[in-house]
Amino acid sequence: MTTNNNGSFTGKVAFVTGAANGIGRAAALAFAHEGASVVVADVSEQGNQETARMIEEAGGRALAIRCDVTRTEDVKAALDKAVEAFGRLDFAFNNAGVEQATAALAD
């Protein structure tokens, strides 16, 4: 993957939750491919760092932030770090899924 120089997202900043793998990683890489700086946020620090590394190795700018979207204070802190690092926030790709334990419907 190389970054796209057509300028479609150049100068923009994307915040992607659930970016450690799957659709979130694909979205983060796509934003970077279009020229955006990307804040990758996930509870999985290892996967998160890997996504950021992939973006940077392709010539993009990325910041990996550990963020548990079930905790309001984590989300606020992550957004503050994003703005502190890049000066703005243009896109939010809210991909992180939250699964809550449920009781079985039948035995």
Domain ranges within the chain, ordered by starting residue? 13-93
- Between CA 47 and CA 41 the distance in angstroms is 10
Q: Report the amino acid identity of residue 49.
A: Q
> pTM of the predicted model, to two decimals?
0.86
Percent of the chain with pLDDT over 90: 83
pLDDT by residue (tens digit) across 85-105? 999 999 999 999 877 767 677
Interval 22-39: pLDDT, tens: 999 999 999 999 999 999
Could you say which of 3.40.309.10, 3.30.420.40, 3.40.50.720, 2.60.40.10 is the CATH number of the domain covering 13-93?
A: 3.40.50.720
AA identity, residue 48: N
For the chain, give the mean pLDDT. 91
Cα atoms in the 13 Å half-sphere on the side-chain side of 96: 21
Alpha carbons 76 and 98: distance in angstroms, whole number: 17
Give start and end residues of each alpha helix (H) in the chain.
22-33, 45-57, 72-86
Span 76-86, mean pLDDT?
97
Residues composing the chain: 107
